[in-house]
Amino acid sequence: MSSELKWNSTEMMTIAASRILQNEMICFVGIGIPSTAAILAKSMHAPELFLVYESGTVNTNPQKLPLSIGDGELANRALSVVGMPEIFNYWLQPGRIDMGFLGAAQIDKFANINTTIIGSDYKNPKVRLPGAGGAPEISGACKEVVVILKHSPRAFVEKIDFITSLGFGSGPGSRKAAGLIGGGPSAVITDLGVLKPDPESCELTLVQIHPGVTVEEVKENTSWDLKVASSVTVTGEPTQVELEKVRLLVASSRN
């Protein structure tokens, strides 16, 4: 990547994610980059974005970036704070959430994601990851899901070691067969570009690259033979305002 860019790749990924969020959506947010993107979107083009966190904060409007999913900042600035049965059973399960944001340690070409283990033996893994949290049901029930993770051959793999959350399974029809009501992943946003599932095959396809990134670079960082759209667009450069706001938010998480 060119060293002349005025932003780093994490900032680009965060800003690209924030632009996907639309005003008045109900969005289920996790901690880290999804939170930064959501708070940024609320301060820019989507002031009415309705944020729900699994800790029970409903329509919250944080001004600084929470370090954890249940920070006081989220509770104090929420319309209401409810118990977890209400979040998972009444908000998420019936399909009230428009968009869920998820991270992943590994992802495959059908956007199935793994956050549980690295290694082939569940009982004796090479690396133990945190596990499922809210992700399987978020992936299952939201109208659409956006996955955010950095591009690398170790993360974008032919076969993930454990299906923690189902994307499109083994292709068209898998979600329905598994009993999932939500639409599944609509985009995967990385530090290099944006992948979207092919409408026919459900296979992730490169549709957009960030400024300064080449298609080859994305393919090199993907372990499977990545499909590329016939016309790949380039993400609009981050504006000065977006960059300033992202940097302030990241700095605020440890205050």
Partner 1 sequence: MSLAEAISLHVQDGDTVALEGFTHLIPFAAGQEIIRQKKKDLTAIRLTPDLIYDQMIGAGCIAKLIFSWGGNPGVGSLHRLRDALSNSWPRALEIEEHTHAGMTNRYVAGASGLPFSVLRGYDGTDLLSNTENIAQIKSPFGDEVLLAVAALNPDVTIIHAQQADRKNNVMSWGILGSSKEAVFAAKKVIITVEEIVDEFKPHHNSVIFPEKLITALAVSPRGAWPSYASGYYERDNEQYIAWDEVSKERESFNQWLEAEVFSKGEK
Neighbours of 1 (CB within 10 A): 15
According to the 3-state scheme, what is the secondary structure of 116-174?
CEECCCCCCCCEECCCCCCHHHHHHHCCEEEEECCCCCCCECCCCCCCCECCCCCCCCH
Q: Cβ distance 56 to 69 under 8 Å?
A: no
Burial of 22 (0-12, 13-18, 19+ CB in 10 A): middle
Total residues in contact with partner 1, by rule CB under 8 A: 54
User: Which 149-178 positions form the footprint of partner 1 (CB under 8 A)?
Assistant: 162-166, 169, 174-175, 178
Neighbours of 125 (CB within 10 A): 15
User: Which 194-223 positions form the footprint of partner 1 (CB under 8 A)?
Assistant: none
Residue 54 designated active-site: yes
The answer to the question of residue 38 lying near partner 1 (CB under 8 A) is: no
User: Which 122-141 positions form the footprint of partner 1 (CB under 8 A)?
Assistant: 122, 128-137, 140-141
CA 108 to chain centre: 14
Closer residue to partner 1 (CB): 91 or 156: 91
> Which of 47, 48, 72, 234 is the binder for partner 1 (CB under 8 A)?
72
> Which of 47, 83, 173, 236 is the binder for partner 1 (CB under 8 A)?
83
The answer to the question of residue 55 lying near partner 1 (CB under 8 A) is: yes
The answer to the question of residue 118 lying near partner 1 (CB under 8 A) is: no
Q: Measured in Å, how far apart are the chain's first and last C-alpha atoms?
A: 32
Let me know the angle formed at the C-alpha of 140 by 229 and 42, rounded to the nearest 5 degrees.
75
The answer to the question of residue 80 lying near partner 1 (CB under 8 A) is: yes
> Which one of the listed residues 11, 54, 203, 242 is annotated catalytic?
54
Q: Which residues pair with 78 in a beta bridge?
A: 60
Closer residue to partner 1 (CB): 54 or 191: 54
Contacts of 85 (CB under 8 A, 6+ apart): none
Q: How far is the CB of 36 from partner 1 (least distance, A)?
A: 12
Contacts of 150 (CB under 8 A, 6+ apart): 9, 10, 13, 190, 191
Closer residue to partner 1 (CB): 22 or 253: 253
> Which of 8, 23, 63, 89 is the binder for partner 1 (CB under 8 A)?
89
Catalytic amino acids? 54
Query: Which residues are near partner 1 by CB under 8 A?
Result: 31-32, 54-57, 66-72, 74-76, 80-85, 88-89, 92-93, 116, 122, 128-137, 140-141, 162-166, 169, 174-175, 178-181, 253-254
